[in-house]
């Protein structure tokens, strides 16, 4: 007994075919979306990893510098350690803004086209 698949409802998205996915992946618009993401994410990732490694290396090999008291019991190591947390949150906030303004509109246009404005 063969059952017929009902057509997608207004709330259910149409599933694109494999060929449509491949065609979209090769499109200029999708390439631009990937470029926008990579040109933002890769440099920030490399910069943050370098900043983190600098902190680790200073902690291991520059004891005198990291132990320098700035005021009271606050030393360079504590300030740089807290700066690690601050930069993490700043990068997350900055990426969120970038995604909302540059990536999300492009991704939404691609999604709408792929789902046939379902």
State pLDDT tens for residues 33-89.
999 999 999 999 999 999 999 999 999 999 999 999 999 999 999 999 999 999 999
Residue 8 lies in a domain: no
Domain count, the chain: 1
**Percentage of the chain lying above the pLDDT 70 cut:** 87
The reply to whether 17 falls in a domain is no
Q: Is residue 11 part of a domain?
A: no
Residues 35 and 58: their CA atoms lie apart, in Å, by 34
Element containing residue 49 per DSSP (H, E): helix 28-61
């Amino acid at each position: 007994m063969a059952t017929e698949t009902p057509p997608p409802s207004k709330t259910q998205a149409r599933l694109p075919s494999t060929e449509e996915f491949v065609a979209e992946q090769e499109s200029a618009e999708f390439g631009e979306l990937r470029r926008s993401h990579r040109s933002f994410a890769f440099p920030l990732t490399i910069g943050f990893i370098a900043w983190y490694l600098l902190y680790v290396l200073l902690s291991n090999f520059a004891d005198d510098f990291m132990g320098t008291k700035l005021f009271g019991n606050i030393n360079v190591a504590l300030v740089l350690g807290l700066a690690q947390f601050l930069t993490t949150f700043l990068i997350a906030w900055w990426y969120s803004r970038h995604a909302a303004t540059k990536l999300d509109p492009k991704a939404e246009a691609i999604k709408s086209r792929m789902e046939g404005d379902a």
